[in-house]
Structure 1
């Protein structure tokens, strides 16, 4: 029965993830057609701070609720009231910081935007216990219903506002309405109702567990979002709008694919201490992922202009080069991300943390230096940093499972060669057709051409691995079905 609940939970969690991301992408495309890059940049300036403050608000207490075995009503109520009071405090602080932040960014419009945005802390704090409790009991279907409803309704409200010329306020409506609706939905689907109970000792016991989690999350957040902060500060809202949208559209779908494949191929990696098994799993994950992500990213690189202009409009054309640079980074990241599981599975978490600290510190410096020049410079330095970090990461992960870096690139060699050939051919064809047909038609022709050429050349140069990939894909679909 427990196994059935786990499988059902995994299924609904996957459905929730895919549906919410799909809805977010669709809404994002519509809004990018209606709103200016400046609007997205202004919201990006705000979410740099709200994202960090929301993480502080949770303080890892949600994770503590999930993993504590003997959970009492006092545990739930204590965490609930702490979240609420702390969320209210953050809302007040952020509200009265609006003038300072508006002056710092030299964006007067931020003043009122931040004041309204600060309300999200109050509403999100009211669901800080309900969500984790549903996850604890694997009730992901309820989470899905609450989440997808909030996304759909808030998206509709936002699109209506954008059509009605609300401008940047449309995006404020998106965030605020999603937070309110999600909180209300969780109250309907959850059995938990708060009472006036509070215990300092219980709160301390949860903090003992959650603070190390908070420390790691805080460091990761700062290193991953320093680019938005520096770009907003030094290059302005329009530049941040271009950069943030480019990063979102190149990173989100590829990351999702890698996560799904990782969850399929690494379900029991932590139980398999055998180096050969771990090595085969890692290489299999990389090989399978490359079959999906390399053509997707390769196509995006050579068709970035028709993709951006055809889908989002001419006003977004300045983000093309940034999108291409970030796509190259994501190409590497999509297959090498799995090495992280090797560090965790073989108990080398301290080594991985040290590597991550060095990489994170490099990123902060690189983001600042790049922001002195352009968003393309930021993306370029981010790519250089990832490549520099990639080799020691592969080396140390390889040492744990007796895997040499050359073995990894041997597995991926055919993928690089095939996609480089296809990219070259599609690029030449797109140059010939550019300005002769509309961008959206060029994009459709380009995608079809890439897929046809990729399939033909793969059958000629890498037929064995392609057939193995198709066979594995069929097994995954059958198992998931």
Structure 2
């Protein structure tokens, strides 16, 4: 039951096509069985993420009217630090629990000790370096906010193994309820503090309260006794899998937060506040759909990887076209109607964020696809490949962000982010998946119609937006609906549309 490493996965590169019909049938049955479990988990995850994001969205609308851009900028600096430490603090223990080959009860005591130790140690380090990090980001006054917000990793250290156990068993209904409860607490605390003049501390205190409530519920509902112990062999296996994964996730955190540090250092907290708002809007789909997918893709693809290589490839070939078909129209509407989205939701004082949002729509697609690739590689045990994939992206991204921000302000930062993702991250993801033995060639024909539909939708949306007058909401409804309709008519096959139409019409009584 040894952990499969990146080299093992790479050795499967020559598996090629499925050899026999019987094998294909078996692989298809395995994909279908696990897919049904994943589908149930995904429905709960989507429900939970949607509920959480709706709450966060409403909270953001309220806070945008109670706070000023500088407050958002200070929070962005603390968020950048927190995102990084949250990715590395448990050394991949959650994913290792999901992917563990064997009984979770055997590894849980050791994994719990490791998660607690690493979380506490990393928090101690960040407490010390917080002033230097805040100064690097251009706002020394963010130091106490950084120290407060990063405290949530202590809670994560306590709950890591239990959260992984719930995901492993597709217990997403309980995770969903815990997350929704936390989001409601977050909104209540943050809005109350903001109304009483707490500024950037509103975000931090709300998040700490939310994680406390969510963590308590996860501990109560996981059904896994909280025991401490240490087994050297188990620890080695966990580190062999988790350490490269944590490094890859740490680089991923740098990728998603380096822009906050660079924009804050070059342009100051007010400009960073506009950038943060645009980035948050562009992150709605990756946050809602991407996070929900991550809850189920890792356990699903892990179970497929345990069977035979063709099962994993078949699962990927079915997943990628569906993801692309869903994400592209959202990106098109976000890019073409960015001014209307910002004006309608947040008001004219946030107008500088619109140009950034339009450019970050490209990054929206890249993030969804690279996140899926990361999860597939993790499930296959190829955690070293995740490091190389994200490292290549980071090496290109940091100078692109720095040059773009100096050249064209917050829009330049968005351009640098989008180009690095499109030209470096996506090719790296394809390369690493191919080296892990995942056959991607059969995916290409299924992408033609969605890409053509996205191009048509962009033309239709821009045309209708230019022809439609009135307030932003009217242009959003008219142009957005027209663009989405054009996309569906071209991207979805006619037979599929007829099938969906037949399901929508109630069967007549015989």
TM-score, length of structure 1 as denominator length: 0.78
Q: CA deviation at 1:325?
A: 1.1
Pick from 429, 445, 449 the counterpart of residue 474 of structure 2. Answer: 445
Aligned counterpart, 1:377: 412
Aligned counterpart, 1:299: 333
Pick from 315, 322, 326 the counterpart of residue 285 of structure 1. Answer: 322
Pick from 496, 500, 506 the counterpart of residue 468 of structure 1. Answer: 496
Aligned-residue CA RMSD (Å): 4.3
Task: Return closer, same or farther for 1:449/1:211 CA change in 2, 3 Å cut-off.
Answer: same
Deviates further, 66-75 or 331-340? 331-340
Deviates further, 216-225 or 157-166? 216-225
Runs of 4+ in 1 over 4 A off after TM superposition: 2-8, 254-264, 266-274, 276-284, 292-295, 331-357, 390-405, 407-410, 455-459, 472-476
Aligned counterpart, 2:400: 366
TM alignment of 1:253-402, pairs within 5 A = 253=285, 256=288, 273=310, 281=318, 285=322, 289-290=324-325, 292-330=326-364, 357-373=391-407, 374-389=409-424, 392=427, 402=441
TM alignment of 1:102-251, pairs within 5 A = 102-251=134-283
Q: CA deviation at 1:377?
A: 0.6
Aligned counterpart, 2:456: 418
Instruction: State whether residues 294 and 419 of structure 1, in contact with CA within 8 Å, keep that contact through their aligned partners in structure 2.
Output: no
Deviates further, 342-351 or 250-259? 342-351
Whole-angstrom CA distance in 1 between matches of 2:457 and 2:97: 46
1:365-387 superposed Cα distances (whole Å, 9 cap, x missing partner)? 21222233411111112233344
Deviates further, 48-57 or 408-417? 408-417
Q: CA deviation at 1:61?
A: 1.8
Whole-angstrom CA distance in 1 between matches of 2:429 and 2:396: 18
Task: Return closer, same or farther for 1:337/1:41 CA change in 2, 3 Å cut-off.
Answer: same
Instruction: State whether residues 395 and 404 of structure 1, in contact with CA within 8 Å, keep that contact through their aligned partners in structure 2.
Output: no
Task: Return closer, same or farther for 1:169/1:181 CA change in 2, 3 Å cut-off.
Answer: same
Aligned counterpart, 2:21: none
Relative contact order, higher structure (CA 8 A, sep 6+): 2
Whole-angstrom CA distance in 2 between matches of 1:455 and 1:323: 19
Pick from 28, 41, 45 the counterpart of residue 60 of structure 2. Answer: 28
Task: Return closer, same or farther for 1:452/1:423 CA change in 2, 3 Å cut-off.
Answer: closer
TM-score, length of structure 2 as denominator length: 0.74
Q: CA deviation at 1:177?
A: 0.7
**What SS class does the counterpart of residue 352 from structure 2 fall into?**
helix
Task: Return closer, same or farther for 1:352/1:51 CA change in 2, 3 Å cut-off.
Answer: closer
Q: Find out whether 1:427 has 2:454 as its counterpart.
A: no
Task: Return closer, same or farther for 1:73/1:316 CA change in 2, 3 Å cut-off.
Answer: same
Whole-angstrom CA distance in 1 between matches of 2:382 and 2:145: 44
Task: Return closer, same or farther for 1:330/1:79 CA change in 2, 3 Å cut-off.
Answer: closer
**How many pairs align?**
461
Aligned counterpart, 2:14: none
Deviates further, 34-43 or 386-395? 386-395
Whole-angstrom CA distance in 1 between matches of 2:240 and 2:79: 28
Aligned counterpart, 1:51: 83
Whole-angstrom CA distance in 2 between matches of 1:47 and 1:65: 26
Task: Return closer, same or farther for 1:326/1:358 CA change in 2, 3 Å cut-off.
Answer: same
Whole-angstrom CA distance in 2 between matches of 1:98 and 1:421: 47
**What SS class does the counterpart of residue 360 from structure 2 fall into?**
helix
Whole-angstrom CA distance in 1 between matches of 2:376 and 2:162: 33
1:242-286 superposed Cα distances (whole Å, 9 cap, x missing partner)? 22221221233267557889989x989977859x98998588537
Q: CA deviation at 1:54?
A: 2.5
1:205-250 superposed Cα distances (whole Å, 9 cap, x missing partner)? 3212222222322233333332222222222222222222212212
Instruction: State whether residues 84 and 125 of structure 1, in contact with CA within 8 Å, keep that contact through their aligned partners in structure 2.
Output: yes
**What SS class does the counterpart of residue 493 from structure 2 fall into?**
helix
Whole-angstrom CA distance in 2 between matches of 1:342 and 1:115: 34
Pick from 82, 99, 109 the counterpart of residue 67 of structure 1. Answer: 99
Instruction: State whether residues 278 and 401 of structure 1, in contact with CA within 8 Å, keep that contact through their aligned partners in structure 2.
Output: no
